[in-house]
Structure 1
Amino acid sequence: MEKPESQDRPLELHLEDSRERISQSYIYSQLARSSIRLLRFISSTSPNAIECELQTFPLSYTPQYHSLSYFWGDPIRENTLSCNGKKIMITTTLKQALERLINLDRGGVKWIWIDQICINQANSEEKGIQVNMMREIYQKSEGTVVWLGPNILGIETTARLLEKMQCLHKEDQDPINGRRKRKFYTLTEFEAKTLPPAGDRSWKILAEILARPWFVRTWVIQEAVLSRVQPRMLCGSYELDWQKLLGSCSWMVSLCYRITPIFQYTDAWHAVRSLHLFNDLMNVGLPWDLETLINRAIRFKATEPRDKIYSLVGLAGEASDSSTIPKVLQADYNKPTRDVFRDVTRHIIESTGSLSMLSLIRYKPNWEKFPSWSVDFTAGVHWERISDLVWGRHQRGWHATREDPNKASDNLPVDLQASFSNDHLNVGGILIDTLGTPVEAMSQANLDCFGNQALIAWKMAQYTRTRYPSIEALGQAFMVTFTANWRLSGTELMEHQPQRHFWNYLWRIYDRLLEEARSEQHYQEVEQCFHHVLKPQSIDDPGDADLYRHYLDAAYNRRMFFTKDKFYLGLGPSIMQEGDLLCVLFGGATPLILRPEGEHYRFVGECYVHDLMSGEAIKDWHDGKYTAQRFCLI
């Protein structure tokens, strides 16, 4: 359910919106809070002459109806529809969907709910009330019909591909907790799985399907998941198998995402990650806690920014009924976006007793627009999270994820005190140390292609030899930190791997630099700079550089750093700088970076710090080595 914002639009579009509101307002009467409008087709003499009827029903007493899920597309309504004997304007995308729906066998169900027509989009009060009822609207529906758009030539060739990947998904992944039963596929293992070769047409057509914008719109999450039966997914005249599409995408995300032919199609890959969430929602069941929903749906898009929150509330435990939704989560399109995002961030921190919501601040912030601790839910994610998310239970019994395996604050709850301003977040914690100069932010291309950035970061790590005096101890600290100790499978973490894989990765970089040396002098400079900091390799078992390279996602767009006094080694956000503070705040699973600003602090981001991820700072605090203090975040 989307309604485009009007700000920053050309004058002619404002005038067009005004004409649409005037031409359509007369078909809408006042809608009671507990009622909805439904649409049904009366007749169709041609695709351009569909006649419809719109009626109002109490939500507790409606005829059978379906609900439509689709992407609005171009917001300009330039197509006419006959409704209750009058002409109304609809978008081109909806016109295409109606032309397909009027001839679709829906088992005798005549009525359908369509947001663009059944809600008076020009009435912000009505829109807010209907949005708060969205969970009940979709749950009461006989099922959701998904319209992806017009035909794709050859779409039927994807059936065998999806069937095979769905079978692999069942073999390789736990359907309940989503954990991998094995490590990532190597290219050789992937190619041996009898899937169509990379050049096969079915991959390209699947990419075309997934490039349809429906897959990444935030409203479609609840529209599909709340369907009482498996959604019917229509692409032109073809009907896709919903379950096979979900299983296939979940398998790709979990086990082979970089080596699939789909990965080269950026728009399609966003959809693959989105469908992984749909798969988890279907398998785990509802309700989820709101923080988990927001975490998992952060990459979805919404034309109206506030819908990044409002579109998910219907799936949350806090909204089991529209009358029980907390005020801070009730749809209010008159409330500034800034205040909505700030208040929801604070609400989640207070209700969960955790600072894990701050792990969503993985972008370059706009501190002029939002408080540094307030999540901008519309910002694109620029780097991956530090902690893994594993399933657990919210204190009120809802399905929820928690950060794992990290517990820097030893599972202590957040220490939150009242502030003078709604823009302040007053929290307690421990100041650990001040940051030295971090290395430059590392790029995915450089790390994946054995570029020099990892080796430069390794040389910088020599500053921490006071804490890690042997090369083996430093190698272990760096190997784990550089990957944020990511999970390789359900039980294995990077810390459980032998160091030889890490050393082989560094030697591959070193050898490449020597091969690319432009002159003898350059060759000698590379050798002099790096050779003495590398550990000799075992001839019998040199290790697997590619195994280590597969798990560097956490380092992409992050910076390695050390601290000035205690010589901790860490991996932090790209915006960090010398003089920032390394802290452990109560309620945080990871250490956090703060920036002093007078008597206050700016939140910079989460980080991975070797020797601080398992409550060590809290133990030292109990032993009197640290003093707890207040941090007023602005």
Structure 2
Amino acid sequence: MNYKYSPLSASSRGTFSIRLLHLMPTCDSPADGFLSCHLVETKIVDRSLDTSVHNKREQAHVKYQALSYTWGLPEFTHSLNVIHNSDDNDTLTSPNSSSSEIRITENLYAALHCLRKQTETLVLWVDAVCIDQNNIVERNSQVANFPKTYAGATSVLVWLGPDDVLNHGRLCLNFFADLAALILKDPKNESGNDQWSWRKRFRINQAVSAFLGDDESQPRAITSLLQRSWFKRRWIIQEVVLANDVWVHYGATSIHWNAFELALVEWFENDKGGFSDDHRTILRTMSRIRNADAMLKRQTPLDTLVEFDSFECSNPRDRLYALYGVMQHWFPNSAGMQVLVENINYGLPISDIFTDFAILMMKLRDDFPLDSNYNSTTHVLQLAAAMRPALQREVASQDTGVPSWVPDWTGTMRHKPLHHSPESSDASRGIPKQHFQIMNLKNNRRALVAVGLVYDVIKAVIPLDILPLTGAVHKAKHALNNFLCSIATSFDQIGFFSSGCTDIYGPTGQHIISAIAVSLVANWEHTPANSYFAQDARFPTQFLEQLRSSRHHLPEILHKWPAYVELVAITMRGRSLMLTESGYIGICDTNVRAGDVVCILSDTRIPFILRPKSLDSKVTEKNCSSLIDERIPTEDSFELLGDAYVHALMNGEAAQILGKRLKTSLRKLYIL
């Protein structure tokens, strides 16, 4: 008989209810593989609201551990026996006691089977069992309480899964324990008090080298560890960040999180070549999430979502929900974060969840410790294009339910958003500041209403293949010459230059090669801190002079070229070079095509490319009006395609050029 959940008691001021799984010890099970438990509703004191001594003592009596694991495939092949009507939660009264079962997955069965104790009850909170998964109202409430549930546990038990036949788990964790002990060894008996003395450093390196040795099973053990699905699960971030204490279990072997993290980071520093890009992402994340409070964290919730983008979840809603607790933890004084957590609702359509989140993020202007260059509306619009799923980008008219101005967190980052210009020199400088508005459309859709300029029209888009530029210098220069020739051909085909000015960039009077070179790196704003061009403000100018010189074969350019190509590769991933009808050049999303428009929206820092809905051959006037709203003129409805760098249009030049015509040139734009 399947277990029937009783409703949980309603939360009250300072407390909330959860179910705790009291897992019977092995000595009480009639068979080794038989799992039995009680499910006990328990009142938990919310210590974030009530710090009285009385409630602290009450909380101390509720001791439980929380399980962090992966559900695995949705195949419920095992059962958990739930005992009813027993006053003694620690023993089974008889084999005939009233009971029912909850079906559980293979991985959860393995975890409970391995973690249960021999002679005492193990009290756990396990989401799959302690929440009635078929009750959406309860699920919403319990997920909203996840941060408090994990923070209230005495410890979190990380379950990586059963060990494999080669005992890689035991091999790794035992070595990690030894390595962590060596790192933490008291250095007093060494010369001086430097913990990282050269003798200690050599011993650590020697230990790692000895573990690698000539036996290929050791590196395979590390690979096997990092391939565990737990490391890619999105919910683990919240579970580990909020935990008071963490223990890692890999089969029958366990290790404290601090030792696990310390050894894993040391291993990474010693053997970077043995780690894939995915492994590096995992290690970087694992080494910082437990120490987030100790760091000067200056990123927004949007940055947090992007940072953990590679972590997976089965329900698309959890792309956001799984990180709400972390964001609230990192920004405890944000009223907006509290609103998010309180409005978790698995019954809402994904498009509504993503849209509501985008609207709130655009409104949160003063909640985060950021410099004056940050603009929340700009950031949301940038990510809306950068995160759009590939299929939606290729078929612009496809109706996914998520508006083009809303980040679709089921997608992947296609290009890096451009840096925001300072407040004193942003693209919209001179345009009266007007905050966005939201218009409710038919079929529960919503449009972003913004005031701005439709400043220019895309005349041509030139793709850039960056790969040939990254080879040997002489080959890369050959590839660059070919690329510049293709641009020159495009210039001639569309009549880009006015007569007699074939080497001058009209908007600035620069040499055209300088304008192109600056555009391909977005005016050097993506320069890494250790880049050649970041070392001296004169270096970019010198490079441009040499690049456009008739003596461009001079050796001086050779040592600058790799650094420049690095910047091009960073900036141009997912982007193309564009030419406009008014004679501007810039870079834009690869999805942009001729006829799209360059817009400068009020209260944003950089230009954006929009596509007039009338240009979309897949949307006829009839079905366009049925999808949109008769209140929106067709000529004023657009789709967002992404941010853009437009050379000589990034510092308020548009308003300055228009002058007295600015007021009449402003339009109300409806972005769908």
TM-score by length of 2: 0.68
Q: In the alignment, which residue of structure 2 is the partner of 1:336?
A: 349
Match of 2:322 among 311, 321, 324: 311
Q: 1:123 aligns with which of 130, 135, 150?
A: 135
Counterpart of 1:207 in structure 2 is: 223
Distance in 2 separating the partners of 1:156 and 1:428: 58
SS at the partner of 1:314?
helix
The superposition leaves residues 550-595 of structure 1 with CA deviations (integer Å, 9 ceiling, x where unpaired) of 4422322321222221323x22212111121122223333321111
Distance 1:316 1:92, change over 3 A: same
| Residue 155 (structure 2) pairs with residue 143 (structure 1) | yes
- Looking at structure 1, the residues matched to 213 and 418 of structure 2 have their Cα atoms a distance apart, in angstroms, of 32
1:629 and 2:660 correspond: no
Match of residue 525 from structure 1:
none
Which whole-Å CA distance do the structure 2 matches of 1:359 and 1:323 have between them? 21
Offset of 1:247 from its aligned partner? 7.5
1:211 is displaced (CA, Å) by 2.0
Question: Match for 2:381: what amino acid?
Answer: L
Supply the distance in 2 between the matched residues of 1:406 and 1:242 (Cα, whole angstroms): 47
In 2, the alpha carbon distance for the partners of 1:199 and 1:483 equals 46
Q: Distance in 2 between matches of 1:59 and 1:504?
A: 68
Partner residue of 1:371 out of 393, 399, 403: 403
Aligned to 2:521: 480
Contact 2:23 2:121 (8 Å CA) reproduced: no
Q: Shift in Å at residue 224 of structure 1? A: 0.9
Q: In 2, Cα distance between the equivalents of 1:502 and 1:49?
A: 72
Amino acid of the residue matched to residue 595 of structure 1? R
Partner of 1:71: 70
| Cα 1:540/1:486, change in 2 over 3 Å | closer
Aligned 8 A contact 1:274 1:300 in 2: no
Alignment RMSD (CA, Å): 4.6
3-state DSSP of counterpart to 1:436: strand
Q: Distance in 1 between matches of 2:255 and 2:424?
A: 38
In the alignment, structure 1 residue 382 sits paired with structure 2 residue 414 = yes
Structure 1 gaps of 5+ residues are: 1-22, 168-191, 389-401, 507-531
- Structure 1: how far apart are the matches of 2:415 and 2:118? 43
**Match of 1:112, SS?**
strand
CA, structure 1 residues 405+301, in 2 after alignment: closer, same or farther (shift >3 Å)?
A: farther
Aligned letter for 1:236?
G
Q: Give the equivalent residue in structure 1 for 2:616.
A: none
Between the aligned residues of both structures, percent identity stands at 20
Q: Is 1:373–1:633's contact at 8 Å kept on the other side of the alignment?
A: yes
Q: Deviations over 1:353-404 (max 9, x none)?
A: 523112223133634112211221111222333338xxxxxxxxxxxxx999
Cα distance change of structure 1 residues 354 and 269 upon mapping to structure 2, 3 Å threshold: same
2:305 to 294, 298, 301: 294
Work out whether residues 532 and 563 of structure 2, in 8 Å CA contact, stay in contact via their aligned partners in 1: no
364, 372, 391: which is aligned to 1:351? Answer: 364
Amino acid across the alignment from 1:41: L
SS of the residue aligned with 2:4?
helix
- Say if 2:37 is the partner of 1:52: yes
The equivalent position to 1:585 in structure 2, one of 594, 601, 611, is 601
Q: Distance in 2 between matches of 1:351 and 1:536?
A: 49
Residue pair 2:3, 2:100 contacting (<8 A) in 1 also? no
Where 1:333 maps in the other structure, the secondary structure is: coil
Contact 1:414–1:585 (8 Å) recurs in 2: no
The equivalent residue for 2:630 is none
Which letter maps to 2:511?
S
Letter in 2 for 1:376: D
Rounded to whole Å, the distance in 1 between the matches of 2:377 and 2:160 is 39
Letter in 2 for 1:585: L
Alpha-carbon shift at residue 441 of structure 1 (Å): 5.6
Evaluate the alpha carbon distance shift between residue 589 and residue 240 of structure 1 in structure 2; reply closer, same or farther with a 3 A threshold: farther
After superposition, residues 138-217 of structure 1 pair within 5 angstroms as 138-151=150-163, 153=168, 154-156=171-173, 159=176, 204-217=220-233
Is the Cα contact below 8 Å between 2:24 and 2:36 reproduced in 1? Answer: yes
Q: 1:564 to 1:323 in 2, by over 3 A?
A: closer
1-structure distance, mates of 2:81, 2:335 = 32
- 2:600 and 2:607 in contact (8 A); partners too: yes
Per the TM alignment, residue 52 of structure 1 is displaced from its structure 2 partner at its CA by 2.0
Cα deviation digits, residues 307-349 of structure 1 (max 9, x gap): 1122222233488799994379612122111222122222222
Corresponding residue number in structure 2 for 1:235: 250
2:505 is matched with which residue: 466, 475, 479?
466
Contact 1:249–1:273 (Cα < 8 Å) also in 2: no
- Between the aligned partners of 1:28 and 1:499, the Cα distance in structure 2 is 69
Out of 643, 648, 661, which is 1:606 matched to? 643
Partner of 1:95: 109
Q: How many residues align?
A: 540
**Within 2, Cα distance between the matches of 1:323 and 1:348?**
8
Pick from 555, 558, 580 the counterpart of residue 572 of structure 2: 555
Letter in 2 for 1:354: T
What do residues 242-289 of structure 1 show as CA deviations (whole Å, max 9, x unaligned)? Answer: 457768989999x999x74323xx653553464476267354389985
Matches within 5 A, 1:475-554: 476-478=517-519, 480-481=521-522, 485-489=526-530, 493=534, 496=537, 498-499=539-540, 536-539=552-555, 542-551=558-567, 552-554=569-571
Write out aligned runs for 1:265-304 (5 A).
267-269=278-280, 271-272=282-283, 274-275=285-286, 278=289, 281-284=292-295, 290-304=301-315
Q: Take 1:433 and 1:250, find their aligned partners in 2: how far apart are those partners? A: 50
Following superposition, the deviation at residue 93 of structure 1 comes to: 0.9
Q: Which moved more, 1:372-381 or 1:404-413?
A: 404-413
Q: Which amino acid aligns with 2:24?
A: I
Which of 408, 430, 435 lines up with 1:415 in the alignment? 435
CA distance in 2, matches of 1:418, 1:292: 24
CA distance in 1 between counterparts of 2:336 and 2:382 reads 31
Q: Following the alignment from structure 2 to structure 1, what is the Cα–Cα distance between the partners of residues 82 and 658?
A: 69
Give yes or no for the alignment of 1:114 onto 2:126. yes
Larger radius of gyration: 2
- How far off is 1:145 after superposition? 1.7
2:612 pairs with 1:596: yes
Distance across 2 between alignment mates of 1:455 and 1:495: 27
Please tell me whether the aligned partners of residues 288 and 316 of structure 1 are also in contact (alpha carbons under 8 angstroms): no
Cα 1:315–1:614 shift into 2, 3 Å: farther
CA distances 1:18-65 after superposition (whole Å, capped 9, x unpaired): xxxxx5342544443421011122211465123322211112255111
Cα distance change of structure 1 residues 139 and 567 upon mapping to structure 2, 3 Å threshold: same
Gaps of 5+ in 2: 46-57, 84-98, 185-204, 366-375, 393-397, 497-503, 614-633
The structure-2 alpha-carbon separation of the partners of 1:554 and 1:323, relative to structure 1 and needing over 3 Å to count, comes to: closer
Evaluate the alpha carbon distance shift between residue 292 and residue 609 of structure 1 in structure 2; reply closer, same or farther with a 3 A threshold. Answer: same
What is the one-letter code of the residue matched to 1:498?
F
Instruction: Give the aligned residue type for 1:82.
Output: N
> How many Å separate the matches in 1 of 2:23 and 2:378?
50
State yes or no: 1:43 paired with 2:25: yes
**Structure 1-normalised TM-score?**
0.72
1:131 is displaced (CA, Å) by: 0.8
